[in-house]
């Protein structure tokens, strides 16, 4: 049998046996049978090795994959997650510009047939849809707004670990595609989920979130990070001190920190000159808020912000206006 099997009024057992024959005809003999191993084991094997189906034409691939999907009810509920994840991994592998849209459509079909009561598995499918869409350059077809994604996770009743794993992947993809502000939002959501913020993973996520926020050109408010328990666990870290400077410090505080922690800023992947510029803007806003009528003289700006000329001060004012 070299063409995709067609199932017309056959039992699930006969359908599974025909699928096994089809796999063998494609060069993938599976060492299981319905009679010897039972339907659940066979469906597991079909899912784990379904990559063989994806090497056929799109029409045949769709037929065989859809028939595998139709056997999900033969798997015990507590094992269904493994089956779904194995299929997702196979569909999401070896993505090319040519096959990306078809693979994405398969994942959409898989997503749509996951029934109520098993909705947590939708998170795995969504994540692989995200990865395929990124590789195929059609990310617009997937929900990527972190707040919307979290709402979906909650409605799907996903575990915290699964949500955090997905949010890390979302962060990385948003970062790669230049959506840096949304990428930081994904990390903030991730950090807010920690019930044990003292773990090594929580510390690593917190570090990444702080650095992303400092690096993000449009981020000037950092208070929300300090409220996160995972960030509070970093009080012994120089990065926490740097974050506090961006929250409530001054330009001169940053210069003092940079001088006292030689190479720390650069080794953390930050651009010292961009950090200086952001701190100048933040300090200027603080000066304006504290000044009578909100007016700050160029002389004060040059002194407190280490600016050389009135023109430098004027340019900083313009940058502050653009950053509002």
- Collapse the DSSP code of 271 into the 3-class scheme (helix H, G, I; strand E, B; otherwise coil) and give the result: coil
Quick: pLDDT tens for 56-108.
999 999 999 999 999 999 999 999 999 999 999 999 999 998 999 999 999 99
- Which pLDDT band, with edges at 50, 70 and 90, does 10 fall under? confident
Q: Is residue 265 pLDDT above 50, yes or no?
A: yes
pLDDT tens for 218-230 read 899 999 999 999 9
Q: CA-to-CA distance for 150 and 164, rounded, in angstroms?
A: 10
Residue 116's pLDDT band (cuts 50, 70, 90): confident
**Mean pLDDT in residue range 20-39:** 95
Place of tokens 């990527």: 144
- d(CA 60, CA 227) in angstroms, rounded, equals 53
Residues 44, 83 contacting (CB under 8 angstroms):
yes
Q: What is the mean pLDDT of residues 157-172?
A: 94
* Mean pLDDT score across all residues of the chain: 93
143 vs 150: CA distance, rounded Å: 10
Please check the confidence at residue 2 and state whether its pLDDT lies above 60. Answer: no
How would residue 1 be classed by pLDDT, with cut points 50, 70 and 90? very low
Task: State yes or no: pLDDT of 318 exceeds 60.
Answer: yes
CB burial of residue 72 (10 Å; 0-12, 13-18, 19+): buried
Q: Is residue 32 classed exposed, middle or buried when 0-12, 13-18 and 19+ CB atoms within 10 A define those classes?
A: middle
The pTM for the full model equals 0.86
Q: Which of 50, 92, 93, 86 is nearest to 68 (CA)?
A: 50
4 or 295, which is more confident?
295
Contacts 24+ apart (CB under 8 A), 63-68: 63/4, 63/5, 63/6, 64/4, 64/5, 64/19, 64/22, 65/91, 65/106, 65/109, 66/109, 67/5, 67/7, 67/15, 67/19, 68/19, 68/43
- 177-223 pLDDT, tens per residue? 999 999 999 999 999 999 999 999 999 999 999 999 999 988 999 99
pLDDT of residue 117: 84
Percentage with pLDDT > 70 across the chain: 97
Averaged pLDDT, 9-21? 91
The pLDDT value recorded for residue 72 is: 95
Question: Nearest-CA neighbor of 3 among 19, 12, 14?
Answer: 19
């Amino acid at each position: 049998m070299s063409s995709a099997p067609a199932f017309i009024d056959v039992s699930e057992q006969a359908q599974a046996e025909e699928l096994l024959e089809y796999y063998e005809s494609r060069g993938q003999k599976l060492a299981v049978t319905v009679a010897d191993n039972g339907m659940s084991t066979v469906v597991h094997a079909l899912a784990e090795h379904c990559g063989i189906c994806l090497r056929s034409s799109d029409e045949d691939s769709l037929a065989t994959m859809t028939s595998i999907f139709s056997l999900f009810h033969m798997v015990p509920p507590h094992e269904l997650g493994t089956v779904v994840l194995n299929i997702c991994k196979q569909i999401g592998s070896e993505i090319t510009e040519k096959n990306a849209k078809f693979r994405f459509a398969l994942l959409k079909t898989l997503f749509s047939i996951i029934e109520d009561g098993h909705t947590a598995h939708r998170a795995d499918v969504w994540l692989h849809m995200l990865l395929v869409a990124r590789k195929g350059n059609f990310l617009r077809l997937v929900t990527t707004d972190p707040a919307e994604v979290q709402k979906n996770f909650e409605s799907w009743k996903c575990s915290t670990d699964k949500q955090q794993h997905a949010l890390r992947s979302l962060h990385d993809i948003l970062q790669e595609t230049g959506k840096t502000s949304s990428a930081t939002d994904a990390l903030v959501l991730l950090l807010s989920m920690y019930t044990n913020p003292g773990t090594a993973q929580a510390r690593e996520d917190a570090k990444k979130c702080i650095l992303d926020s400092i690096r993000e050109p449009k981020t000037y408010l950092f208070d929300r990070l300090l409220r996160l328990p995972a960030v509070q666990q970093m009080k012994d870290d120089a990065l926490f001190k740097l974050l506090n400077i961006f929250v409530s410090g001054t330009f001169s505080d940053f210069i003092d920190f940079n001088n006292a922690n030689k190479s720390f800023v650069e080794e953390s992947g930050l651009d010292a000159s961009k950090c200086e510029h952001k701190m100048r803007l933040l300090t200027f806003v603080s000066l304006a808020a504290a000044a009578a009528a909100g007016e700050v003289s160029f002389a004060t700006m040059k002194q407190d912000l280490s600016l050389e000329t009135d023109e430098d001060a004027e340019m900083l004012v313009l940058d502050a206006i653009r950053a509002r």
